[in-house]
Structure 1
Amino acid sequence: MTTPSEHTGPRAVVVTGGGTGIGRATAHAFAARGAGVLVVGRTERSLAETAAGHDTIRTLAGDLTEPDVPRLVVETALREFGALDVLVNNAAVAAYQSMGAIDPAQAEQQIRTNLLAPILLTQCALDPLERSGGTVVNLSTAGALGMRSWPGCGPYGATKAGLDFLTRTWSVELAPRGIRVVGVAPGVVDTGTGVRSGMSEEEYAGFLARMGSSTPAGRVGDPAEIAWWITELTRPEARYATGLVLPVDGALSLT
């Protein structure tokens, strides 16, 4: 088994989908701990907004579903920081369609972005993660945990359930290389993703209100709350935790 290097905290972090929502909050949380953070996304403007005011955040615009981008991400992190300690697979797209009305192109995009891209990016990152005794964090969703169903969101939920399976499998496959793999499964979080997925502002506000009232905690989540758990799970003190998928959802998945 590889012996991890002695870090007091993560030196170099990659966060995909870092231009908005949970990805942005995660980048800020790691930067606040002194880490160098490479945020990856498809929109330069939103990435620049994430990096604004943070000297240790770098940006890389690119589509992770393109063949050469996973390699470019790893090369950029190594060039900027000299190491890779944490990889946060957060980038995702969603479409709300029921069986019988699923658009093939949108279904393929979800599979490529939410499932295939994390596979290929993580594979590219294995050698530097092994050198650092690093951690992979996969962001899934509490809506796809266990035996739950999700009418109207089949392809998206399936990709996230698949990512949870990869978290468990990789944790066993990569343990001999000294790499941990953990998952965080957020509940409903106010990230603006509903609007980006096609809802109007009014529809999204109504959705958040309905979900907040049906969540035992009495509200929806904030991106910073998810980011806190991501950073905590990558601390040296958490090094015995691997293979787990942690729901952070105000107990919604228990109802």
Structure 2
Amino acid sequence: MKSQRTAIVTGASTGIGRGIALKLAAEGCDIFLSHLNEPEEAGEVARTIEQLHGRKCVVYQGDLCAAETASQLVESAISAFGRIDILVNNAGITRLGKVAELTPDAIDLLYQLNYRAPMLLTGQVSKHMIEKGIRGSILFTTSSRGTRAYPNDAIYGGLKGALSRSIQSIALELAPYGIRVNGLAPGAITVRPPTEYHEKLGRRIPIGRMGLPADIGAAAVFLCSEEAEYITGITLRVDGGLILPGMPESPRQDPDNIWGKLN
């Protein structure tokens, strides 16, 4: 990519969002980084972007479960950079549970953060891109759970599947303006120091290891690059072969319940 562009990356203080932000900065992007309540971690990411990659990084703290945050965030990003070339809708939360035990609050939290927020942000950013004639790129972080069903995952996995379907419609809407819209579906990604559980799981993934945030970041860089200018409306699975046919799909096939515990 190696060009001066600006990118919003939500939920970028840790984990996959951090990996995406660092990879985009390494390729020449200035970063507008949002987080909920990790000021120290967000500051560390910003310092790395500025000192290691020589790019500008602006940190924004806000709760994307609140509907008004989306417009406030985008307005702040435009004020800071003048234009937005890339939006990465990464912020999200994992909550699993039996459908008979789900509470309204739990369902609302997952819907507001994992689905409504990226829709609102995409609406605001796409309007800006259209008005400015920016042939931009919009990415969503979905999940391999949006493709394969697991027990205790009706809401989280269902909403991730809904994102992949929505991506296709938005891609059709925005293609006439040269704006590409795609998704990234991570599988089993290590976002904390690995444990024995992660090592055991990694050995059972076809590629032989757990994924890293940098793996998702590399895929994001590609989808935002000129090399991917003919790609829109897809959800790219980045999972090391995790859900290929032949891998365990149910507790009976997976006595250790390794697959059922994945985030």
Deviations 1:16-66 (A, max 9, x none): 011110101111111112211001110223211221232211100001121
Q: CA deviation at 1:15?
A: 0.2
Aligned to 1:196: none
Q: 1:244 to 1:31 in 2, by over 3 A?
A: same
Number of matched pairs: 237
Pairing partner for 2:219 from 223, 229, 236: 229
Aligned to 1:172: 172
Aligned to 1:195: none
**Greater alpha carbon shift after TM alignment, 150-159 vs 84-93:** 150-159
1:34-73 matched pairs, under 5 angstroms: 34-43=28-37, 44-55=39-50, 56-73=56-73
Aligned to 2:236: 246
CA distance in 2: counterparts of 1:10 and 1:253, whole angstroms: 36
1:13-32 matched pairs, under 5 angstroms: 13-32=7-26
The SS at the match of 1:132 is: coil
Q: CA deviation at 1:114?
A: 0.3
Pairing partner for 2:27 from 13, 29, 33: 33
* Contact map agreement 2:31 2:57 (CA 8 A) in 1: yes
- With structure 2 as the length reference, what TM-score do the two structures score? 0.85
**Greater alpha carbon shift after TM alignment, 64-73 vs 109-118:** 64-73
CA distance in 2: counterparts of 1:89 and 1:178, whole angstroms: 19
Q: 1:153 to 1:210 in 2, by over 3 A?
A: farther
Residue type of the alignment partner of 2:79: R
CA distance in 2: counterparts of 1:128 and 1:225, whole angstroms: 29
CA distance in 1: counterparts of 2:226 and 2:242, whole angstroms: 30
* Contact map agreement 1:85 1:134 (CA 8 A) in 2: yes
Q: CA deviation at 1:96?
A: 2.1
Deviations 1:50-102 (A, max 9, x none): 21232211100001121321112111211111111000000001112122222
Identity between Structure 1 and Structure 2 (%): 32
Aligned to 2:204: 214
1:42-121 matched pairs, under 5 angstroms: 42-43=36-37, 44-55=39-50, 56-121=56-121
The SS at the match of 1:252 is: coil
Residue type of the alignment partner of 2:7: V
Unaligned ranges ≥5, structure 2? 51-55, 248-263
CA distance in 2: counterparts of 1:190 and 1:10, whole angstroms: 30
Aligned to 1:205: 195
**Greater alpha carbon shift after TM alignment, 236-245 vs 39-48:** 39-48
CA distance in 2: counterparts of 1:236 and 1:47, whole angstroms: 29
- With structure 1 as the length reference, what TM-score do the two structures score? 0.87
* Contact map agreement 2:145 2:161 (CA 8 A) in 1: no
Q: 1:108 to 1:248 in 2, by over 3 A?
A: same
Residue type of the alignment partner of 1:234: C
CA distance in 2: counterparts of 1:20 and 1:103, whole angstroms: 28
Unaligned ranges ≥5, structure 1? 1-6, 193-200
Pairing partner for 1:137 from 133, 136, 139: 139
